[in-house]
């Protein structure tokens, strides 16, 4: 276990008057395709949600919209009380771990993490925090290696360590279990579990509901552009 003091403290507002995530009648058209059709959802701070749905159902698109990377065609949304249109405030409170990791390929592992900390105006011993995060995911030996030379599983571990290090109030993760061995999948569960234990809200898009359930027990399913409660559903 890493000394928690090596990780920047999560910056969660103490008393929330509003849900961590909220969407109201959100529609999204991309090109000719309507991907989201009147999505409504409320997630309280500290919720853990598994987002299910077939290939192409719109899970990645919904995560991008929540991270203010896409604007709703119609409808409204809020992240930690901030309107989705206020991208700057939303991005201060949310971290999206995309399916490919979203790393800078020409930066080394430690540079990728240090840069992420700088972007979030981290104060404190960044070198120590970065070293602790790399150790936490077993990448200390690759600290100086460029991200482009990592294996797919190592990239996933690096992206995971970044999400854990940043510990935003809301963390969105897209297929975190893909490309990982058994130990890697257990590590994903552990680190995402720690984010939630620290009060963070978690949304996990996954095709492995049995793995995601451990850290994100509330299941929602995207189908036909709508988001439905899938509490009883076990298939991705
Ligand atoms: N930039 C884009 N322009 C037009 N259509 C897009 C764009 N990005 C995604 N789509 C379409 O949106 C739909 C939803 O894609 P998305 O990647 O969100 O699905 P997903 O549920 O994450 O799928 P998977 O499980 O395969 O990862 C797909 O039909 C895809 O072709």
Residue burial 150-184, b: 16+ Cβ < 10 Å; e: rest: beeebbbbbbbbbbbbbbbbbbbbbbbbbbbeeeb
Task: Answer yes or no: are the C-beta atoms of 89 and 132 closer than 8 Å.
Answer: no
- DSSP at 141: G
Is the distance from CB of 6 to CB of 132 less than 8 angstroms? yes
| pTM (two decimals) | 0.89
Q: pLDDT tens digits for 44-89?
A: 999 999 999 999 999 999 999 999 999 999 999 999 999 999 999 9
Other residues' Cβ atoms within 10 Å of the Cβ of residue 204: 29
User: If you search the block for the tokens 């972007």, which residue do you land on?
Assistant: 119
pLDDT of residue 2: 45
Rounded to the nearest angstrom, the distance between the alpha carbon of 177 and the centre of ligand 1 is 19
The pLDDT tens digits of the residues spanning 109-164 come to: 999 999 999 988 777 788 999 999 999 999 999 999 999 999 999 999 999 999 99
With the most atoms of ligand 1 within 8 angstroms of its CB, the residue from 27, 36, 58, 178 to mutate is: 58
231 compared with 6, residue with greater pLDDT: 231
Ligand 1 centre to CA of 33 (Å) is 10
Complex ipTM: 0.96
60 CB under 6 A from ligand 1? yes
User: Considering only CA atoms, which residue is closest to atom 16 of ligand 1?
Assistant: 58
pLDDT-based confidence at residue 236 (cuts at 50, 70, 90)? very low
CA of 57 to the centre of ligand 1 (A): 7
CA 159 distance to own-chain centroid: 10
């Amino acid at each position: 276990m890493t000394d928690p003091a090596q990780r920047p403290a999560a910056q969660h507002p103490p008393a929330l008057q509003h849900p961590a995530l909220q969407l109201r009648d959100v529609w999204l058209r991309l090109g000719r395709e309507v991907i989201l059709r009147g999505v409504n959802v409320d997630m309280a701070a500290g919720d853990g949600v598994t987002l299910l749905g077939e290939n192409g159902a719109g899970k990645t698109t919904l995560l991008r919209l929540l991270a203010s990377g896409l604007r709703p065609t119609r409808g409204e949304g809020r992240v930690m009380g901030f309107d989705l249109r206020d991208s700057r405030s939303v991005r201060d409170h949310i971290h999206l771990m995309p399916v490919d990791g979203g790393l800078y390929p020409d930066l080394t592992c430690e540079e990728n993490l240090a840069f992420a900390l700088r972007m979030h105006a981290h104060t404190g011993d960044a070198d120590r925090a970065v070293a602790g995060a790399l150790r936490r995911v077993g990448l200390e030996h690759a600290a100086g290696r460029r991200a482009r030379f990592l294996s797919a599983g190592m990239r996933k571990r690096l992206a995971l360590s970044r999400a854990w290090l940043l510990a935003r109030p809301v963390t969105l993760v897209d297929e975190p279990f893909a490309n990982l061995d058994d130990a890697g999948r257990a590590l994903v569960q552990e680190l995402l579990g720690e984010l939630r234990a620290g009060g963070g809200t978690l949304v996990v898009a996954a095709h492995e509901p049995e793995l995601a359930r451990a850290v994100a027990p509330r299941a929602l399913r995207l189908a036909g552009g709508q988001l439905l409660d899938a509490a009883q559903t076990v298939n991705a």
